Amino acid sequence: MFLEPGFRGQRSGWIEVICGSMFSGKTEELIRRLKRARIANQKVATYKPATDVRYSEVSVVSHDENVVDSTPVKSSIEILKDLAEYKVIGIDEAQFFDDKLPQVCEQLALKGIRVIVAGLDMDFRGKPFGPMPEILSIAEYVTKVHAICPHCGSLATHSYRLSQDESTVLLGEKDKYEPRCRICYSMGNILNLKL
């Protein structure tokens, strides 16, 4: 029998991951879960990497402009400060954090905290991104969300970079990325000529 996160028989303290490509609704789903926890009168804290300033320096903002207050941090270790009062911790853009994030998530879960992590599972090259693979392997619950490929209408699983910049981290929106299915992603620049 599958137990939903928070089921009465579930011990407190676990890790949930929301992953997928760009524009798949990861942050939207994170915000939804955090708001539901607040409705249940649970103390919630949200964190994001200090480098992610696309929409706001201090808030987590979805592409649909839903917002939740957050604390920007330079290191995942900073998340471990002042935790005594929190029952739920949200972490957005996990792929941009350092390699200590999986251990931080483990420590939080062992303290009885529900940890909800959202992030890209693959970079624009289609390779595992940052600490996400390790977090996925230690999580109790994993939700993979999908965007829609604008070229064929299939489920998009990849983030295709529209620019020629080769750096792993390049913050951007629809001007720099688009979601693509596996086939359209592998066709690469051929599709860009049709746009």
Catalytic residues: 93
With b for 16 or more beta-carbon neighbours within 10 A and e for fewer, the 127-155 pattern comes to eebbbbebbbeebebebebbbebbbeeeb
Contacts of 72 (CB under 8 A, 6+ apart): 47, 48, 49, 50, 52, 57, 58
* C-alpha span between 40 and 28 (Å, rounded): 19
Helices (H), 78-138: 101-110, 132-138
